[in-house]
Structures are given as C-alpha cells and as structure tokens.
Amino acid sequence: MAANRLWLRNPLAIHTANTLDARGGLVIEDGRICELLAAGQHPERPCDQVFDAREHVLLPGLINTHHHFYQTLTRAWAPVVNQPLFPWLQTLYPIWARLTPDMLALATRVALAELLLSGCTTAADHHYLFPDGLEEAIDVQVEVVRELGMRAMLSRGSMSLGQADGGLPPQQTVQQGEVILADSERLISAYHQRGAGAQIQIALAPCSPFSVTPEIMRASAELARGRDVRLHTHLAETLDEEDFCLQRFGLRTVDYLDSVDWLGPRTWLAHGIHFNPDEIVRLGAAGTGICHCPSSNMRLASGICPTLDLQAAGAPIGLGVDGSASNDGSNLILEVRQALYLQRLRYGAEAITPARVLDWATQGSARLLGRDDIGELAVGKQADLALYRLDELRFSGSHDPLSALLLCGADRADRVMVGGQWRVLDGQIIGLDLRRLIADHRQAAARLIAA
C-alpha cells in the first residue's frame, strides 16, 4: 500500500500544467496530489515516505484514448502486413471471429501490461466483436483492468451491418440492435463509475459507418444521453470510408455524424483524418474530440490527422495507440514520439513541440474521456504518474530531459503510480509473471490463426 503522505522529491524534470514550477517535486496524500513544490521548497507537513526522484523525469500518467485490446493476438500477421484499411479488415474479420473469452483475457492482459510499462495509467478500449461465446467480452475486460489496477474506459462497441446488407463485416460478427442496446444498458448499470477517481467507465461505441446501421447510431446516442455516458466511433480514417458514406448515405462523414445526432461534446472520434475546412469548424464548434493515432495511420497509409486545425477550431485532441494489429504495439510513450514526428511533417518543427504532444497524451486525452481528475500534475488531481530514467546508452549526451524523453526514444517507465498506488517498480509490474503471460499469449495467438 502507498504511504499516507509521500514526497517525490526534486525530479530531474517534471511536466506540469501551465508550466508551473514544481522542481521541488510533489506530495501525495490519500491517492491525490496535495502539494506542488517549487525548487528548494519543502512540504507543509512531514511525510511518511520520501522518494528521491533526481534521476527521474516525472509525467502525469499517460492516457490512451483508442485501442482494440484483442488485436494483440494478430500482430504482424503476414497476409495483412501490406494492406490498407478495408482489405486489411476483410482479411482479419474471420480470424477475429474465432476469439474465445480466454483468448480475450490474455490479449487484454498483454495490451494493458504493455501500456502500463510505457507509463500509461488510463486506457480506453473499443471492443466491437461479440461472436457466439463471447457475449460477455466487456465483463472479461473489467476483471483484467481490476487485476492490473489501472483505469479504463471500456467502450461497448457494436457491428450491426454485415456483408449481406452492404457492410464490411461477415455475418457471424454482427448483432441485432436490441441485443446491442440491452447489453449496453446492462454494462452501464453493472460497471460505470462516476466522479473523481473512477476506475472503470463504460462508453457506447458503434464501430464505424461501414459496419453499423444509422438506426443503431441514433439509438446509441439516445441511450448515451439518457444514461450520461460518452460516445465513440471511428470516423474519417480513409478515403474509402468517405466514398462508402457518399454512396450509401449520400453524405460526407461529418454530415452523417450530424444526421445520427452524434455531433457534440459527448463524442470522441478515432483518427479524424479526412475532414475539409468547413467540417473542422463544425467539429470544433460542437466540441467533438479527436483521438490521433499516428502509428496506425502510418502503418495503413491512411493519412495525417489535421490536429492543429482541429484544436484551433475548438476540438480537443488526444492520443491513442489503436489496435495492436495496425500499430503493432501498445506503447504510449513511443506513440507520443510518433505524433511529434508525424505532425511536424504537416505543421513544422516550431509548432509541434515535445510539450504540446505530451499535453495531447495527458490533458487532451483526459478531455476526450470527459475527465477532469486525471491528466495533470496539479493539486487535487489523482496521483496517476509515470517516472522515467534517462540512464541508458540512448540518452547519453542529451541535455534537456523532457525533450530527451521523446527525441531519444524512451520506451519504458521505471515507476508508475495509479491513485497513489505503485503499479510498476524498477520497470516491473507488481504481481505479474510476465514470462508466463508471454508464453500463454503466444500459444493463444498461434491457436487463433491456426483454427
């Protein structure tokens, strides 16, 4: 258990909201940050424990706002390595339809462990596959989240438009609308927590315009308003998707979003690449959030999200690793680095700074999930944080610690805390047999492909 009062003293560098001076570190009490200390300052009251952080860069816990945990079982699968999104999906759907609860538990444990080791403390997952036998997929994920002690926004995804009706998914992966809505209600009632410090929350997440009907989009929006939960979907990821919407609905993607009553601050979208200037203005005015997934967008050659244009219009920007079949990892600190480099290609080096992209992965991502208790190192916020050492060969000769974290390619946190509890110490997840997990996961991945 964490000490009642813990002083993380004199970090090598610290990333705080509004660049506050916190070179003296911070004090944690009862799972929250209660003091930020300037250089040379000491806590107001004695602390039970003091941790000397002079060799650590201290960040808010990173927040991942788009993932597909189950996809850790299909990383770097040869038949899809060189495919763009639509054929990539059509090839993988039949494989994913074989998922079992045990496989999903392993896949989720691997995704969360990898995220946690990278300094991520909160993860949003978009799970939309519920074939026969996997009807309680979200329940499986809840147990793994609790086991690892992280926070999660588990999105109850859905697919209701199969190939027989003009959609992309095979029929064995789609569900009827009444089944989707009933399970969504059940999950909200069973698991959704509210208020500061919530560990598990539920969102409603019809998969995409090419895999769900407008009816389930509208019904999900209505249910989300009635139960005060958030909405999530993929949108404007590829030009193929834009063409699909034009041909099927006679609408561009943002017009379609508006037509099903999704355009608003309750919604956050994955990818958001192919918006025109008018659509960017509309999204910003509505306060609709965008999760930038740079590695996946590069892997599938989908395009580059117009982050700064969206942000200038008023749309919150967060980061996500996306599924591990299109990344092919779950490492959020490396995703921050990818965002830095990819966005510099669009906006230039002066506009895209390490501090800006770290803000996307922390404060920005928290806004996407509708949370104001995480994503910042500030008094009153949850004590979710990540500490990184810069003592490896790759950092030798570096000068600015916060910049070095990204420019020199940090990929693993030394310590990670969630709600005042250490979950990673000396680069190891407390209580997790990583070797056994890797062995079991590899076997499950082989069975899934061979089935």
* Length reported for the chain: 451
Question: Nearest CA to 22 among 42, 8, 37, 32?
Answer: 37
239-295 pLDDT tens trace: 999 999 999 999 999 999 999 999 999 999 999 999 999 999 999 999 999 999 999
Q: Exposed (0-12), middle (13-18) or buried (19+): which is 44, by Cβ within 10 Å?
A: exposed
Q: Exposed (0-12), middle (13-18) or buried (19+): which is 45, by Cβ within 10 Å?
A: exposed
Burial 48-58 (b: 16+ CB within 10 A, else e): eebbebeebbb
Average of pLDDT values for 201-205? 98
- Residue 439: inside a domain, yes or no? no
- Residue 403: inside a domain, yes or no? yes
Q: CA angle, corner 317, sides to 316 and 318, nearest 5? A: 125
Q: Which two tokens stand for residue 348?
A: 């230039």
- Residue 329: inside a domain, yes or no? yes
How far apart are the C-alpha atoms of 96 and 71, rounded to whole Å? 8
355-400 pLDDT tens trace: 999 999 999 999 999 999 999 999 999 999 999 999 999 999 999 9
Q: Which H or E run contains 33?
A: strand 32-37
62-93 pLDDT tens trace: 999 999 999 999 999 999 999 999 999 999 99
Contact 416, 75 (CB under 8 A): no
Q: Which two tokens stand for residue 221?
A: 């929006």
How far apart are the C-alpha atoms of 254 and 285, rounded to whole Å? 13
Q: Which two tokens stand for residue 73?
A: 């079982």
Domain count across the chain: 2
Contact 132, 57 (CB under 8 A): no
Average of pLDDT values for 301-312? 98
291 and 325 housed in the same domain? yes
- Residue 442: inside a domain, yes or no? no
DSSP 35-82: EEE-TT---SS--SEEEE-TTEEEEEPEEE----GGGGGGTT-GGGTT
Q: What is the CATH number of the domain that holds 35?
A: 2.30.40.10
Q: What is the pLDDT of residue 20?
A: 76
Contact 254, 271 (CB under 8 A): no
Average of pLDDT values for 223-227? 98
51 and 126 housed in the same domain? no
252 and 398 housed in the same domain? no
Average of pLDDT values for 219-236? 98
Q: Whole-model pTM? A: 0.97
- Residue 450: inside a domain, yes or no? no
285 and 417 housed in the same domain? no
Percentage above 70 pLDDT, the chain:
99
Range of the domain at 417: 5-60+386-429
Please tell me what DSSP assigns to residue 372. Answer: S
How far apart are the C-alpha atoms of 257 and 231, rounded to whole Å? 12
- Residue 137: inside a domain, yes or no? yes
271 and 162 housed in the same domain? yes
Q: What is the pLDDT of residue 21?
A: 85
54 and 66 housed in the same domain? no
Contacts of 343 (CB under 8 A, 6+ apart): 292, 294, 304, 305, 307, 308, 352, 357
189 and 241 housed in the same domain? yes
Could you count the other beta carbons within 10 Å of the beta carbon of residue 252? 18
22 and 66 housed in the same domain? no
* Radius of gyration (C-alpha) of the chain in whole angstroms: 21
307-363 pLDDT tens trace: 999 999 999 999 999 999 999 999 999 999 999 999 999 999 999 999 999 999 999
Q: Which H or E run contains 29?
A: strand 25-29
Q: Which two tokens stand for residue 308?
A: 């700064």
Q: Of 325, 341, 368, which residue constitutes the final position of a domain?
A: 368
Q: What is the pLDDT of residue 4?
A: 86
Q: CA angle, corner 136, sides to 167 and 96, nearest 5? A: 45
Q: Exposed (0-12), middle (13-18) or buried (19+): which is 439, by Cβ within 10 Å?
A: exposed
Its sign, for the CA torsion 187, 264, 294, 161, is: positive
Cα 336 to chain centroid distance, Å, stands at 12
How far apart are the C-alpha atoms of 316 and 289, rounded to whole Å? 5
Place of tokens 């969630």: 418
88 and 78 housed in the same domain? yes
- Residue 91: inside a domain, yes or no? yes
Cα 58 to chain centroid distance, Å, stands at 20
Average of pLDDT values for 423-449? 98
Please tell me what DSSP assigns to residue 163. Answer: G
How far apart are the C-alpha atoms of 212 and 142, rounded to whole Å? 25
53 and 68 housed in the same domain? no
How far apart are the C-alpha atoms of 384 and 62, rounded to whole Å? 8
Q: What is the pLDDT of residue 2?
A: 43
Contact 100, 112 (CB under 8 A): no
Q: What is the pLDDT of residue 390?
A: 98
Q: Which H or E run contains 155?
A: strand 151-158
Cα 33 to chain centroid distance, Å, stands at 23
pLDDT band per the 50, 70, 90 thresholds, residue 17: confident
Average of pLDDT values for 194-223? 97
Q: What is the CATH number of the domain that holds 69?
A: 3.20.20.140
348 and 259 housed in the same domain? yes
Contacts of 247 (CB under 8 A, 6+ apart): none
- Residue 444: inside a domain, yes or no? no
Phi-psi region of 322 (alpha: psi -120 to 50; beta: other; left: phi over 0): left
How far apart are the C-alpha atoms of 287 and 52, rounded to whole Å? 41
361 and 417 housed in the same domain? no
Question: Nearest CA to 337 among 410, 427, 389?
Answer: 410
